[in-house]
Amino acid sequence: MQFEPTRLPEVVLIKPRVFGDARGYFFETWQQARFADAAIPAAFVQDNHSHSTQHTLRGLHYQIKQAQGKLIRVTRGEVFDVAVDVRRSSPRFGQWVGVTLSETNHHMLWVPPGFAHGYLAISEEVDFLYKCTEYYAPQHERTISWNDPQVGVHWPLAHGQAPILSAKDATGAVLAQAEVYP
């Protein structure tokens, strides 16, 4: 397993070693000792599975209390996955990083507490799995607007293509007005 810090070093791209043959493939998605050696001492309490259709954009979500770390992977399709630093005391506050996760590259992403997270479904269908370090707490969930110009995420949408959004995601706050971490 390779652990590669992104340009936001706390957000880590994980490239598992995939063993494949004519029958298919096998790879490890989680091993506590390997993650601890990579300075990711996560203790997971909840697994989630999300299914999306093409052009669905989910996010940018975070919990202001019971902050969640997330270990993310895609088992069907392809997404553009984004993490935004929402820690006001961070020198990278408001900066974002995006990576492609897919069923073919098998990459995973570690998004630690203190970051907003979202993704855009690129393929016709996506199955998106993630492990969380804290339980979902809807009363503490916050949403940053997916198209906040201050954050400036470059979503891979065709010119003029609008994403499919939930009502919550369509009304997310701009970072300048959002409740964020100290």
Q: Which of these, 63, 64, 108, 59, lies nearest to 82 by C-alpha position?
A: 59
Q: Which of these, 48, 54, 61, lies nearest to 169 by C-alpha position?
A: 61
DSSP output for 113-165: TTEEEEEEE-SSEEEEEEEESS---GGGEEEB-TT-TTT-----PPTTPPPB-
Q: Which of these, 28, 26, 63, lies nearest to 46 by C-alpha position?
A: 63
Element housing 35 (H / E): helix 32-37
The number of angstroms, rounded, from the C-alpha of 39 to the middle of its chain's C-alpha atoms is: 18
Active site residues: 61, 130
